[in-house]
Amino acid sequence: METIVSVTGGKVRGRTEDGISKFFGIPYAAAPVGPLRFEAPRPVAEWPGVRDAVEYGPTCAQSPYPPPIHAIIGSDHIPGDEYLNVNVWTPEVGGAGRPVLVWIHGGAFVRGSNAREMYDGSTFARDGVVVVSINYRLGISGFAALRDAPLNRGLRDQIFALEWVRDNVAAFGGDPGNVTIFGESAGGMSVIDLISSPRTTGLFRRAIAQSGNGSAVGTAEDAYKVTEHVATVLGIEPTAAAFGALTPDQLREGQDSVAAALATDPDPERWGASTIAGGFGVMSFFPVLDGEVLADRPIEALAAHPERQVPLLIGWNADEFRLFTVPTGVAAGITAEVLPFAVARYGVDPAIVADYSATRPDATPADVFAAIVSDLAFRDDSVRIAETVAAAGTPTFAYEFAWPSGVDGLGACHALEIPFVFDQAAAAPTLTGENPPQQLATDMHGAWVRFATEGDPGWPPFDPTGRTVRIFDAPRSSEATDPRGEELRALRAAYRTP
């Protein structure tokens, strides 16, 4: 059945099936192409008549993941200019007062989209929640630092999309005063950035950060070095006009070239210390301190400005980095002799190897490496943010996703929790393996629904003394107090802050 709703820009036609209304590819801002690619987002132009919103919209220019990662999580690419778009799932067009969840996808700020089967919001709508999933500018378009263009365009897009939600979600039965933002990886980092930003007051009530951190922020001066490298590779000047004239293929070429250069030569002297530390040697384009959207590193801003805090659900996966070491063959090359040098590359005193090895007597060197770097990149910062927010008296809830994938070697790797959060466990068999536990999806999805609806996911809050963490696992989830806390404190002591 067709369903028509009026939004900013005009009328859109979605479809209703089994009591769920779906609207895909609705533009929330003008197409960022040509000269507009490097400007702040602008309002969408009005369209005549009724616009079909029954197919996913375009995605920002991006290359596929490398083959080993692509085989597990796939890649995203839908051509077209109107890639600043949203999808909406709702249980009641014309209703009112429904809680709202806004999904921000991951992809290291250079990949990803809102058009994935495991991001299908129908299950949340089934349970009474309106879901909006957003696209935003990625890579060069969203985060390349140009001296004659606004910085953090991708984050500005996210804020613009949240303003669209504020202005339009009531037409889909949602409550604009009860919005929860949630995201994973770069999306989780974006969530932390948005909480800490002075530009987001009143746009959301709660936040969920999955496998993110508050340290993926660089300086503008270091980010300019990355852009200058790309300009040199492409034979252009590092200006908005020159970059705005690039084709999608040239954008992909530039993004791929700098990613390869950073991977082979992660030299802070060449790229800047904040590029290496903030990007963790993996990300080449990501948010920077611009004095507007981000005036301070998020964790510092949250401590200095507790009035910006909102109730927070934050967590990590037990084996995050296995997604990047096992399929790619990196794990096979980490021997006992290599391990200390591999750890030191991330700024960690190799002495930490003894601490992690002592609690994992049967672990291989590759296992120990993945555990250390997983904690360094995701768990440590997530716990620090939880500590900061909880210390100010803001409701804070922490979780760890511990169920190991049925795919051999992945463990509880990065991104594995997503299909369980969306109660779409069967949608990603190359990630989860066959027959993933439905009860785990029921538990996680239910917790996210409760948090978006009531502000309480169903377990005791995290506080500086109790430090309760929900461990999501199968056949049964449970709570733990400060799991592996001694390891984390040893890691903090061993990390040499740039």
Helix (H, G, I), strand (E, B) or coil at 281: coil
CATH number for the domain harbouring residue 63: 3.40.50.1820
User: At 96, phi and psi to the nearest 5?
Assistant: -160, 150
Residue from 82, 320, 400, 417 carrying the catalytic annotation: 320
Quote the CA–CA distance of 202 and 477 in Å, as a whole number: 34
Quote the CA–CA distance of 405 and 281 in Å, as a whole number: 26
Compute mean pLDDT per 10 residues along the chain, 498 residues long, and list them: 93 95 98 93 97 97 94 94 98 92 97 96 98 98 96 98 98 98 98 97 98 93 95 95 93 93 87 86 91 94 94 98 95 95 92 95 96 96 96 97 97 98 96 97 98 98 94 97 95 79
**Domain tally for the chain?**
2
Q: Which of 227, 254, 253, 249 is nearest to 240 (CA)?
A: 227
| Residue 489 burial (10 A CB sphere; 0-12, 13-18, 19+) | middle
Can 337 be counted among the known catalytic residues?
no
Do both 191 and 323 map to the same domain?
A: no
Q: Which of 160, 282, 288, 140 is nearest to 222 (CA)?
A: 288
Whole-number pLDDT of residue 95: 86
Whole-number pLDDT of residue 497: 56
Its domain, for residue 421, covers 311-494
Q: Is residue 225 part of a domain?
A: no
Do both 372 and 458 map to the same domain?
A: yes
- Site of tokens 């802070």: 268
Do both 294 and 387 map to the same domain?
A: no
Can 414 be counted among the known catalytic residues?
yes
Residue from 400, 414, 417, 445 carrying the catalytic annotation: 414
CA 195 vs CA 114, 200, 298, 480: distances in Å: 21, 7, 8, 27
Instruction: Output the CA angle 469-470-475, nearest 5 degrees.
Output: 145
User: At 235, phi and psi to the nearest 5?
Assistant: 70, 35
Q: Is residue 245 part of a domain?
A: no
Q: Which ranges constitute the DSSP H helices of 239-351?
A: 240-244, 248-264, 268-271, 273-279, 298-304, 322-325, 339-344
Last residue of a domain, one of 298, 323, 348: 298
Do both 294 and 381 map to the same domain?
A: no
Residue from 113, 185, 196, 477 carrying the catalytic annotation: 185
Please, are residues 370 and 346 in contact by the beta-carbon 8 Å criterion? Answer: no
Whole-number pLDDT of residue 432: 98
Pairing of β 85-90 and β 130-134: antiparallel
Q: Which residues contact 363 (CB under 8 A, 6 or more apart)?
A: 356, 357, 371
Whole-number pLDDT of residue 359: 92
Residue type, 201: T
Q: Which of 444, 425, 447, 446 is nearest to 436 (CA)?
A: 425
Q: Is residue 51 part of a domain?
A: yes
